[in-house]
Amino acid sequence: MSLPRIFVTLLFVAGVMACNHNDSSASGSGNNDPAPRDLVNRDIAAFKNNSALSTSITSYDQSNKGVFTKVFGGTSDSAILDYFNTRIHYFYTASELKKMTISPSRFRNSSWSSDDSPSDDSDSKSDVVVGASNIGMALWLMGLLDGVTVVINAEGKDLTVDSSRFGLMEIGPGYMLTEHTKSGRAFTIPAAYRQAILLHEARHSDCTGGISNADLAILRNTTSMKSMQANYKNKKCGHMHSICSGGDYAGLPGCDDIPWGAYAVQLVYLKAAYGSTSGLDNLIMRAGIIDTASRLQFDADDMFAGKFGDPDMSSSGLRQP
C-alpha cells in the first residue's frame, strides 16, 4: 500500500555519516544493535530519571521564555512522556507492518500524496533515509477522504483508526543506534537524537484546528503532491511537510512552511537536550540542530520570538463547515 510521505522524518546521512541502511530488515542496521522496537522502548525509558537531561531541559526552558513548556506541557520526564503517549501508541518496522492487515487495502483518493517524479522518492536517494513515519495520521486522513473506517489487524487484535491521534508509527531504517563513518568506523548515536525523532512523529498526530469538508474536497480533487503543495492550505492538520526548496533535501517533503510543526518540535527538543551530552554525542546533537533548523522555511527567530504566537498543541477532528 502506498501511503502519504509527508508525515515522516527524513534524515540526511551523507557528510560524516556514510549510508549503511540498504538493509531495511527488522534486525536493525546489520550489526549488534537491538531490534528497532527494543531500541524505541529503550529511548522512551531514557526520558525517565535522567538528571543530566532534566537539568539541561530546565535550563534551556528558563533561558528561552518557557518554550519547552509551551510545546511539551512541562519540563519533567512525565510531561514529555504524557506528550508522547497521548500521540503515539504503537510502533512497528515496515516488515512488521507488512504482516498486518489494513482494511481497506487500498484508498481511492490518494493521488494528492503521490510523488510527481522518481527523484521525489527518498528511498532511492542514497543519502536520505526515513527515520520514522506517522502511519496512523496518514491512515486516518485517507479514511476521512474515502469516507471509510480504517481497521488494522495487528497481532490478532482489530484496531480502529478513529482519530488523528491513533498513533501508529513506522520505525524507519534511519532509526538506529550505530552509524558508520565513510571509513567504516562505527559510532553510537545518542538517545536524545532519536528521542527528538519520536517527539517529531508525535507532533504529526495533532490535527491542529481540525479539518473541514472543504479541505477534504480540495484533497480529493488534487492529483499530485506538487499540486497539493500549491493548493492545499490546511497543513496544520497533521503538520504536513512541505517540499524543501533547496539544500540537501531539495525536492523532498522534508521541510516545514508553518510554525510549530514537527521539525520545530524536534528542534526545541534537540536544543534543550544538547547540554546533557558531551564529546562526540555533543557534536552529533549539534549537527542535528543545524540540520533540523535548516528545515524551517520561514524565520525561525520570529517563531522563537513569539511573532507567530504560542504553539497550539491541540488536536481536533472533522469540523463544520
Q: Given the rule CB under 5 A, which residues bind Zn ion?
A: 8-9, 262
Amino acid residing at 195: Q
Least distance in Å: CB of 254 to Zn ion? 8
Least distance in Å: CB of 200 to Zn ion? 6
For residue 296, list its beta bridge partners: 256
Least distance in Å: CB of 86 to Zn ion? 17
Buried b / exposed e along 212-251 (16+ C-beta atoms within 10 A) = eeebbebbeebebbeebbeeeebbbbbbbbbbbeeebbeb
Least distance in Å: CB of 172 to Zn ion? 11
Those residues with Cβ within 8 angstroms of residue 267's Cβ, 6 or more apart along the chain or in another chain? 289, 292, 293, 296, 300
Cα–Cα separations (whole angstroms), residue 112 to 70, 96, 203, 207, 234: 33, 26, 21, 18, 14
Q: Is the CB of 177 or the CB of 262 nearer to Zn ion? A: 262
Q: Is the CB of 262 or the CB of 296 nearer to Zn ion? A: 262
Residue nearest to Zn ion (CB): 262
Sheet holding 151-154, edge to edge: 101-103, 151-154, 157-160
Amino acid residing at 162: D
Least distance in Å: CB of 239 to Zn ion? 7
| CA atoms 91, 92, 93, 97: torsion sign | negative
Q: Is the CB of 6 or the CB of 19 nearer to Zn ion? A: 6
**For 258, phi and psi rounded to 5 degrees?**
-115, 145
Q: Is the CB of 57 or the CB of 262 nearer to Zn ion? A: 262
Q: Is the CB of 61 or the CB of 130 nearer to Zn ion? A: 130
Q: Is the CB of 8 or the CB of 303 nearer to Zn ion? A: 8
Least distance in Å: CB of 263 to Zn ion? 7
